[in-house]
Amino acid sequence: MKKGNDKMLNPNTGERELAYVVKIDSIEPIPGRDRVECAKVGGWTIMVRKDQFKPGDLGIYFEIDSKVPAKEPFMFLEGKHFKIKTQKYKIPNGQFWSQGLLMAAEDFGWKIVENGTAIAKENGDSFELGDFLTKELGVVYADPEDNSRKSKSSVNKYQKMAQRMGKKFSKQPYRWLMKHKLGRKILYLFFGNNKKDNAKSWPDGKFPGVARTDQERAENMTWILQDKTPFIVTQKCDGSSGTYILERKGKNKFEFYVCSRNVRMASKEQECFYGSHNYYWEVAEKYDIENKMKAWLNNVPGRDWVCWQGEICAPGIQKNPHNLSETHFYCFHWTDNVNGRRDIRDAIFDWKFYNMETVPIVCDNYIMPDDFEEFKKSADGYYMAEVCEGHTNCKREGFVYYKTTEPTFSFKNVSREYLLNH
């Protein structure tokens, strides 16, 4: 488990953690507010009750986009449907952003032990700074789409079968059988289809340098402002992650991988969390990705495989913040067995040769500012027209930053203004 108030992607799963133990960095007053104050945890600012915490205290932090269980001690969130979102409050001469929820160990009946360095449960189990509590406390993503996209087991083969059979499985006998383990197995013998209902495993570890595409948030790594190495800045598109890999298996023989964020799609007929509309295979066919990758492997010596990753944006994904009329795929990662993760500037040059769309580069020599608030505000604004079919009034999600000296090092700065509505 990670220790400290930074890097809250689980190193074992690559998943973003939604709840974890933190140390309060500072407590500051909020102008015009007498009964509350601001607790700072890394780059996060959270509104808390006055005198609830002091600097150096341990607490349990719940990130934005989370949903907590509908039970104590979370019942005070019932009016917000137990969801934790970005909040903006007017204060004299400005505004205050509260992002996330900070709770004390005592709220759960737990105690601070070991001279303030750990939190202990009633059964003696303890948690230290940086320990993940997402599963422990039953926290999930607030958005059902995010839950589906980022869950490895969001829909099992029986559910996929039922969705595919639709009208037939809505009848009483089938509904009754689906409620029982043996009944589901019997139905699967008759109606199951491996290609449609059984997803293959995501190729974790098979292709060095290829990983799931979650980015760490800037709020969890404020130390990055001290790094004055130039960064490449790209627009962060808001859609669904797609991964495409072509592996050479012999002379003129290849294996093509089409993957969502967590699942390899066995065929274009396979159900996914968007129902029968398989955007991942749609993109593969629309852009002719397999043949383009094959041409590249055949033309460049010494390459055994190549991987393209990017964001699938479409009218039916994430409420269509790009205001698109059709499906688009904006590439952002190119990896192969010789170069590893390529510098995005070089990758974009080759993608353009193959008529692929890419995330736009905003700046290729960005130096981090000294002030974190200044850095956060820079994420606000509008998408470039080239990722919005020419529209110029689409509020952008934010930026992704790539270190010029280390192509695999990247993180995101998400606009708080964007989060208010998304």
Residue 271's pLDDT is what? 64
Sequence ranges of the domains in the chain: 19-142, 147-198, 216-421
Mean pLDDT of 102-111: 96
* Band of pLDDT at residue 142, cut at 50, 70 and 90: confident
pTM, two decimals, is: 0.83
* Band of pLDDT at residue 270, cut at 50, 70 and 90: low
Residue 242's pLDDT is what? 95
* Band of pLDDT at residue 172, cut at 50, 70 and 90: confident
**Residue 283, class by beta-carbon neighbours within 10 Å (0-12 exposed, 13-18 middle, 19+ buried)?**
buried
For residue 21, report the phi and psi dihedrals to the nearest 5 degrees: -80, 130
More confident residue, 153 or 283: 283
d(CA 295, CA 378): 40
Residue 2's pLDDT is what? 40
Residue 222 has pLDDT above 90, yes or no: yes
Mean pLDDT of 114-140: 94
Percent of the chain with pLDDT over 70: 88
d(CA 156, CA 273): 11
Maximum average pLDDT range among 2-16, 24-38, 141-155: 24-38
Q: What is the per-residue pLDDT across 298-356, written as a single tens digit (0 to 9) for each?
A: 999 999 999 999 999 999 998 999 999 999 999 999 999 999 999 999 999 999 999 99
Residue 279 has pLDDT above 80, yes or no: yes
Residue 213's pLDDT is what? 81
Q: What is the per-residue pLDDT across 178-214, written as a single tens digit (0 to 9) for each?
A: 878 788 888 888 887 655 555 567 888 899 999 888 8
Residue 263's pLDDT is what? 84
Residue 269 has pLDDT above 90, yes or no: no
- Kindly provide the residue ranges of all beta strands, DSSP E only, lying in 288-355, ordered along the sequence: 305-313, 328-336, 340-341
For residue 316, report the phi and psi dihedrals to the nearest 5 degrees: -95, 10
Exposed e or buried b per residue across 371-404, where buried means at least 16 C-beta atoms within 10 angstroms of its C-beta = ebeebbebbebebeeebbeeeeebbbbbbbbbbb
39 residue type, one letter:
A
Residue 108's pLDDT is what? 96
d(CA 64, CA 19): 10
Residue 154's pLDDT is what? 42
Annotation: CATH topology of 216-421: D-amino Acid Aminotransferase; Chain A, domain 1 (3.30.470)
More confident residue, 171 or 133: 133
Residue 4 has pLDDT above 50, yes or no: no
Q: What is the per-residue pLDDT across 365-378, written as a single tens digit (0 to 9) for each?
A: 999 999 999 999 99
More confident residue, 234 or 9: 234
